[in-house]
Structure 1
Amino acid sequence: MKKIILILLSVLALNQANAQGKKTEKATFGMGCFWCTEAIFQKLKGVVSVKSGYEGGTLNNPTYEEVCTGLTGHAEVLEITYNLMEITYSDLLEVFWKSHDPTTLNRQGADSGTQYRSVVFYHTPEQKVLAEKYKAELNKTNAYGKKVVTAIESAKPFYVAENYHQNYYLKNGSAPYCRLVILPKLEKLEKVFKAKLKN
């Protein structure tokens, strides 16, 4: 029943967007280091652009160094622009939750601090409903064996990260960090979401 509700909500959001002549929408996710996660969403069909940046804090125009202190309150996030006719918000949520560990508070792997928290910043009421229902279903089915701690919050001002953070994997694919940390995530993506990837 819940899957039917999720599908209906996705169709409703798509119909509303079509009625308004809207073809793209934004999704914003925090799921640890944006170097690791940017490359994942860049590979998805229907994703127009992915920007690494900072959101959810109190300081205007924070720098990477300031965010790394954990004192600004920002999370490292991805602002994803996607084509509603090619990919749904539910699809993006599925990739989001399957591409990181949403059960660890303020931590992803060796990275720890509030800047690495798992968070969904929703841009529309429909996104909020879909994210909350998806999270509730994950917890109800005990999908991870532990409680999902992902925060679901209204979108805040987004600050684009410095240029050297953008397209990090595309520019630095042969670096040890990319081969050891990012490449395994991309290989997993190709196995799990093969049908959703760009050619």
Structure 2
Amino acid sequence: MSLINTQVQPFKTEAFVNRGVKGEFITVSDESLKGKWSVLIFMPAAFTFNCPTEIEDAANSYEEFKKAGAEVYIVTTDTHFSHKVWHETSDAVGKAKFPLVGDPTHKLTKAFDVYIEEEGLALRGTFIINPELMIKTAEIHSDEIARDVSETVRKLKAAQFTAANPGQVCPAKWKEGAKTLTPSLDLVGKI
């Protein structure tokens, strides 16, 4: 069964976040996601190879996410304590100003269907969630392939546009401000 247009299941876990001079531990739950757009980016584990490159990519795009009214959450099956040390010891991860969410119970990774039972790790999964806690996009792939966060930003903006403009669809490679389509009988066979 697809997770698209399903409700985020209740969850509650701990995260490390460093938004200023000093980091802190915070609680993240389904309630934390309510009322704003959220992007959950699942990764296998802290202290790995591709994961820091993706966190750095997300950190470099964080202002765009914030400008779009969205919060980013990086999730691994580690603890929030591991994330604190990872943040302090990796230059790439140290750029993160968004929560690094621990999921040591695997409840969150299982709820988003990215859990690898044999390894106790997560697949690379990216989910865009609307303010009503509905999952609007899902991208899941094998762990050896890192993502390009600019595509996540594009999908977030497309999801926000279609939410604000019912009846419109965003064509392939749509960028903010570009022309959209209004599906109709007149368009069938004309595109």
Give the TM bin, normalised by the shorter chain. Answer: 0.3 to 0.5
TM-score normalized by structure 2? 0.33
- Specify which structure has the higher proportion of helix: 1
